[in-house]
Amino acid sequence: MAYSHILQLLSAISRAVAVTTTKKAELQRFEHPISTETKNDEPLSLSFLVIGDWGRREGHTYDWRGIISRKAYRANILKQDLESAFKESMAKWKIIVGHHAIRSIGHHGDTQELIRHILPLLKTYDVDFYMNGHDHCLEHISDRESPIQFLTSGAGSKAWRGDIKEENGDGLNFFYDGQGFMSVKLTQFEAEIKFYDVHGKVLHRWNKIKQPRHSSV
């Protein structure tokens, strides 16, 4: 997903969800409020949490030396913002939006800093999707050790034909080195991911179903 497309997506989301970001939070956070109405002990409305790096606290800058900055920033952001967001959330769906890929077989490949510092948190809190741009391609990779799906949609404005790192292909479900885009459809218990070419033809489709929790939450 091109970064401008991510911003458009999040702008649309923000009109339909409650903003739960505090003044101290660095990463932006949107969470759809959970309905008080239930059926079979499950909320009737869709509930989801989206956390992303598309905006940071006004008037505060960090010394960036790579994908992730130095130790102080990692401790502040990852431990405080991400963990507090996950712990406070009752959302059924958990989605992280970032610019750089964690897993990719495209031009930039896997981002080792994110694998070391971000991925363990995502696994701990059962994140469903990590969505990103940066690589100019479309791809879907499944994590072998958790339910996380890595979704790259960076081919809206251009694509890099034939630029593939095949050695990074563990868990690869789909890769396309042409232009196109991705859509995500969420219902209370089901997610549907689709990748399209520029003509609107569906190139890849993937579904995930979550079972009701049968609790009083």
Closest CA to 144 of 124, 125, 171: 171
38-to-113, 208, 217 alpha-carbon distances in Å: 41, 22, 9
pLDDT at residue 21, rounded to an integer: 41
**pLDDT classification of 7: cutoffs 50, 70, 90:** very low
List, in sequence order, the alpha helices (H) in the chain: 3-14, 71-74, 83-88, 112-117, 119-124
User: What is the C-alpha R_g of the chain?
Assistant: 17
pLDDT at residue 111, rounded to an integer: 86
| Structural domains of the chain ordered from first start | 3-209 (3.60.21.10)
**pLDDT classification of 182: cutoffs 50, 70, 90:** very high
Half-sphere exposure of residue 202, counting CA atoms within 13 Å on the CB side?
8
Average pLDDT, the chain: 74
> Poorest-confidence range of 31-35, 106-110, 174-178?
31-35
Q: Which residues are catalytic?
A: 108
> Read out DSSP for 44-65?
SS--EEEEESS---TT------
Closest CA to 179 of 191, 161, 166, 163: 161
Sign of CA dihedral 12, 13, 17, 22: negative
Beta-bridge mates of residue 176: 138
pLDDT digits (tens, 9 = 90+) for 63-118: 444 555 555 555 566 667 778 888 888 788 888 888 888 999 888 888 888 888 88
Most confident of 70-74, 90-94, 136-140, 208-212: 136-140
Q: In this structure, what is the dihedral angle of CA atoms 101, 66, 62, 94, given to the nearest 10 degrees? A: 20
pLDDT digits (tens, 9 = 90+) for 84-99: 888 888 788 888 888 8
Cα–Cα distance between 8 and 11 in angstroms, integer? 5
